[in-house]
Chain A
Amino acid sequence: MLESIMHWWEKKQYRIAPYLFISPFYILFAIFMVYPICFGIYLSLHEWSGIGEMAYVGLENYLNLFKDGDFYLAFSNTLWYMGASLIVNLVFSLILAVLLNSALVKCKKLFRTIYFIPIVTSVVAAAIVFTLFYDRDYGLFNLLFVAMGGKPLDWLGDTSLSKFAVIGLIAWRWVGFNMVYFLAGLQSIPKSLYEAALVDGANSLQCFLKITIPLLRPVILFVMVTTLIGSIQIFDEPYVLTGGGPADSSMSVVIYLFRTGMEYLNLGYAAAIGFVLFGMTFVLSWIQLNLMGAFERKE
């Protein structure tokens, strides 16, 4: 018996060994990715509160989602976050990057480091500081507003302002990070192109629109897609800043998922939200990549 196994191994080991060498990745991938995803699909077809029996409900969880006002609210808030953070992250990051890349700015490395600091800062700590900045009565922002003759605003307590407060924190956190990508992109554009354009009489705006933007396209695409995916899954910033409130006005889809799963213990429903979220992310990224021509075949 043992001998026959040994014999078999002798014969096949050259074919099997490579698979064994790469197997750790696949085993871990199966345990931590494939299994949870399959279990998630299974869970989304059931009603379950964490322990005990699961009750099969078919597609009911998904159907209920389309009738759920809270889900629509979370969904529209998330789309709002997505749009706003795309604008903020593209525009401000690019402007910052162009400024830092220009010959006028000294101490580039210092600025680059400063702008990068938010991303290595704990978002919870930052959010606590921002909560104080945003405060209606004692906040720094309102202090400045009032000094400029404005009226104090209840950033975190007013349902129409809470999303702006969240976007402020998002901008602080991510603009510097994305700027680094743009900066890298800008530095890879050959100077000779600009020199040639200047010789041909182009002004700096024309240079920016005709040289910088087209050549930055891959970077813009990358920043757009990562921002899009990041903002669809936004959780930390609104959760620590407003907890989704007031009156759910800043609740994102992931906050709703967390609440449904961990507070209300409707784990099946939460799993269904998760898959709808995945669908959203997939479709939106695909559309975006398509619009940007990422799938075009280069002749």
Chain B
Amino acid sequence: MKRTLLLILVALMIMVVVGSSGAGAQEEVTISMWTHDNLYVEFFTRRGEEWAALHPEYKMNFKFTQIPYDQLWPKILTTLAAGTGVPDLIGIEISAFSRFMKGDIAEQALVDLTPLIGEEKEKFLRWEPYMHNGKIYGVESALCPVVFYYRKTAFDEVGVSTPMETWEEFTQAGSKLKEKDRYIAAIESSGDTPHHFLALYYQQDGAIFNSKGELMAEDDPRAIQALQFLQEGVREGILWPTSSYFDAPHFAALKEGRVVGNYMADWWSVYYQKPQLPEQAGEWRIQLLPAWEEGGRRSSTAGGTGFAITKYSKNPELVFDFLHYTYMTKENQIKRFLELQYFPTMIEAITDPQITEFSDPYYGDQKVGKVFSEAALQIPVQWQSPYWSEAIQILYKEAITPVVADKKTPEQGLKDAISKIRALMK
């Protein structure tokens, strides 16, 4: 009796060993990712399937989760503080990255990607926003070049020839549109991130912070010029100020044809314009930003999201391989644009005919890829600081909101904002 039991036991053990070594050919790996943007969930899911097929030695489980923007950061912070439940990958929206620069959280929580990226760094634009103390912590998910979106039919109606070359021409066009009760563009007068000011300022090579995190904008005539542009535009009735730029009132104004243009990044199109204004398909075009002076830069930047690997990841190298496949290969950089219209960061992809020849029926079959590509190649550099979140709040409060409302001069607004940011940095 005992012998039979023993035999059964041995047989069972052999089965377990053999069984597990059979499965050992397929190690089980789970890769989790948190992001605020559902389009990334879709894109990562599709690439994940392809990538898993390239690695038959693993049994991949993907857990990609969209978490609302406001809840994402407290959630990440709590899991980091607790040291459990942290995902492998986090999509860090550009203005949220500064939180990771505070108290060197980046260094403690995120994998330094610099050695993993190595020499490939040169092939891409835009690592700066996700760098801290000289190390790279994030791979940019969209270049976010800013272009001018305009409803061509409205411009034709008043006889404005497009594209416009300078901001002066832009202002003149705005005055003509005004006669028809139309605004050439809307600007956000209060909100979370002052894209409309920053885009104009970055376009002139301006910077709030430099690569060392030093405050740069003090009494900067370029910043004053950008503020002045907003103030005068609103005063003259050319620019339409709104506190609901990403909400229904602005979309209503666009639908009515009250607002017929916007200077915004690549994501404006897929995230807001096309879903909100499907009936205006074919009427819109895009052009490079007007220049401040002839021959000047025709591009700027607004927004972005960097994908970072956390130190809590069990397989950081494998996760990087996945990130590399998804975001750092030419093929998938192009796919990202074709599928999501988030513009590539890889120079080879930016100049690829699949991008430059890409035409979009929404924009009257215009070759939008070419416009974005030209804007991309002259995109200005943007540096962050641990004080970024505070700085942009202060910029709104002390400069942009009061200046747009004509309650302060641009000079005074900038002075107040800078002195407050400086006091905070002490």
Chain A interface residues (CB < 8 Å from chain B): 48-52, 131-132, 135-139, 154, 156-159, 242-243, 245-248, 259, 262-265
Known interface pairs A52-B108, A243-B192; 15 further A-B residue pairs with C-beta atoms within 8 A, sorted by A's residue number:
A49-B105, A51-B81, A137-B242, A137-B249, A138-B252, A138-B253, A139-B249, A246-B189, A246-B401, A248-B393, A262-B74, A263-B73, A263-B389, A264-B99, A265-B102
Task: Indicate which residue in A138, A248, A265 contacts B99 across the interface (CB closer than 8 Å).
Answer: A265
The residues of A that contact B244 with a CB separation of less than 8 Å are: 131, 135, 156
Majority secondary structure, B binding face: helix
Nearest-Cβ distance from residue B186 to partner chain A, whole angstroms: 11
Count class of interface residues, chain B = 35 or more
Nearest-Cβ distance from residue A142 to partner chain B, whole angstroms: 11
**Could you give 15 example pairs across A and B, Cβ below 8 Å?**
A49-B103, A49-B105, A51-B81, A51-B105, A51-B109, A52-B104, A131-B248, A139-B249, A156-B244, A157-B242, A157-B243, A246-B243, A247-B396, A247-B401, A263-B389
Interface residue ranges of B244-265 to A (CB < 8 Å): 244, 247-249, 252-253, 258
Q: Are B103 and A52 in contact (CB under 8 A)?
A: yes
Q: Are B190 and A51 in contact (CB under 8 A)?
A: no
Task: Indicate which residue in A137, A154, A245 contacts B253 across the interface (CB closer than 8 Å).
Answer: A137
Nearest-Cβ distance from residue A253 to partner chain B, whole angstroms: 16
In the complex with contacts A135-B244, A243-B191, A263-B389, A49-B102 CB distance below 8 A: yes
Q: Are A245 and B191 in contact (CB under 8 A)?
A: yes
Asked whether any CB of chain A lies closer than 8 Å to the CB of B80, the reply is: yes
Asked whether any CB of chain A lies closer than 8 Å to the CB of B402, the reply is: yes
The residues of B that contact A51 with a CB separation of less than 8 Å are: 77, 80-81, 103, 105, 108-109
C-alpha gap A171/B401 in the complex (Å): 27
Task: Indicate which residue in A131, A243, A265 contacts B103 across the interface (CB closer than 8 Å).
Answer: A265
Q: Total contacts A to B, CB within 8 angstroms?
A: 89
**Chain B 84-124 interface 0/1 with A at a Cβ cutoff of 8 Å (1 = within):** 00000000000000010011110011000000000000000
Q: Are B103 and A245 in contact (CB under 8 A)?
A: no
C-alpha gap A158/B390 in the complex (Å): 22
Q: Are B192 and A159 in contact (CB under 8 A)?
A: no
Asked whether any CB of chain A lies closer than 8 Å to the CB of B344, the reply is: no
C-alpha gap A138/B249 in the complex (Å): 6
C-alpha gap A96/B243 in the complex (Å): 34
Nearest-Cβ distance from residue B238 to partner chain A, whole angstroms: 16
Q: Are A264 and B109 in contact (CB under 8 A)?
A: no
Q: Are B77 and A265 in contact (CB under 8 A)?
A: yes
Nearest-Cβ distance from residue B319 to partner chain A, whole angstroms: 20
Asked whether any CB of chain A lies closer than 8 Å to the CB of B367, the reply is: no
Task: Indicate which residue in B104, B191, B389, B397 contacts A248 across the interface (CB closer than 8 Å).
Answer: B397
The residues of A that contact B73 with a CB separation of less than 8 Å are: 262-263
Task: Name the CB-closest residue of A to B96.
Answer: A263
C-alpha gap A71/B399 in the complex (Å): 19
**Chain B 302-323 interface 0/1 with A at a Cβ cutoff of 8 Å (1 = within):** 0000000000000000000000
The residues of B that contact A48 with a CB separation of less than 8 Å are: 103
**Chain B 159-198 interface 0/1 with A at a Cβ cutoff of 8 Å (1 = within):** 0000000000000000000000000000001111000000
The residues of A that contact B247 with a CB separation of less than 8 Å are: 131
The residues of B that contact A157 with a CB separation of less than 8 Å are: 189-190, 241-243
The residues of A that contact B253 with a CB separation of less than 8 Å are: 137-138
Question: 8 closest A-B pairs (Cβ-Cβ)?
Answer: A49-B103, A246-B190, A157-B243, A247-B401, A247-B397, A245-B190, A49-B102, A265-B102
C-alpha gap A139/B247 in the complex (Å): 13
Task: Indicate which residue in B81, B243, B248, B258 contacts A50 across the interface (CB closer than 8 Å).
Answer: B81
The residues of A that contact B241 with a CB separation of less than 8 Å are: 157
In the complex with contacts A243-B191, A262-B77, A263-B99, A132-B248 CB distance below 8 A: yes
The residues of A that contact B81 with a CB separation of less than 8 Å are: 50-51
C-alpha gap A243/B243 in the complex (Å): 11
**Chain B 72-84 interface 0/1 with A at a Cβ cutoff of 8 Å (1 = within):** 0110010011000
Q: Are B401 and A50 in contact (CB under 8 A)?
A: no
The residues of A that contact B109 with a CB separation of less than 8 Å are: 51
Nearest-Cβ distance from residue A247 to partner chain B, whole angstroms: 4
In the complex with contacts A52-B108, A264-B389, A247-B243 CB distance below 8 A: no
Nearest-Cβ distance from residue A212 to partner chain B, whole angstroms: 43
Interface residue ranges of B350-402 to A (CB < 8 Å): 389-390, 393, 396-398, 401-402
